Amino acid sequence: MNLQSRSKEEPEVNLTSLIDVVLLLLVFFMVSTSFVRETEISLRLPQARTQTEPVVQADSLEIIVTETGGYFVNGRALVNSERSTLRTAIERTIGESRDLPVFVRADALATHQAVVTAMDVAGQLGFVRISIATVTPPEG
């Protein structure tokens, strides 16, 4: 019987291939990630049963939507109800300031699409403080 002990070799763990896989995954996720910021509109809807009227500040943007879908920007009527016309009117009225509050006042019979269009144009221009003005219903 051969009772000589053999020298045992220590097993080696080769981490090179694991590191290569992790780096490839990192590169894949960096390339495939899109950095597009979605347009977001944050709304703060006022309560309709309050007794006080909302105060429109002098340094704010007021968009009025009429029953027929026409727009007024700070009291000035627009020539048509196109998105581009509304956008141009807002840009000319406000200029570069995008931190002003926006008040959307819509007629009760105005279409939902006209109101959403006004809010969407304001959101695309970078306004984030958008409020919808309401009136208190008469009691009785």
Mean pLDDT of the chain: 80
pLDDT value at residue 66: 87
Over residues 89-110, the pLDDT tens digits come to 999 988 888 888 999 998 888 8
- 3-class SS of residue 53: coil
C-beta neighbour count of 41 within 10 angstroms: 14
- 3-class SS of residue 45: coil
**CA proximity to 103, closest of 92, 85, 118, 89:** 118
**Sequence spans of domains, the chain:** 61-133
Quote the CA–CA distance of 116 and 80 in Å, as a whole number: 16
Look at residue 41 and tell me whether its pLDDT is greater than 50.
no
pLDDT value at residue 15: 83
Is CATH 3.30.420.270 correct for 61-133? yes
**CA proximity to 99, closest of 63, 45, 59:** 59
Q: What is the mean pLDDT of residues 120-133?
A: 90
Q: Burial letters for 67-96: b for 16+ Cβ neighbours within 10 Å, e otherwise?
A: eebbbebeeeebeebeeeebeebbeeebee
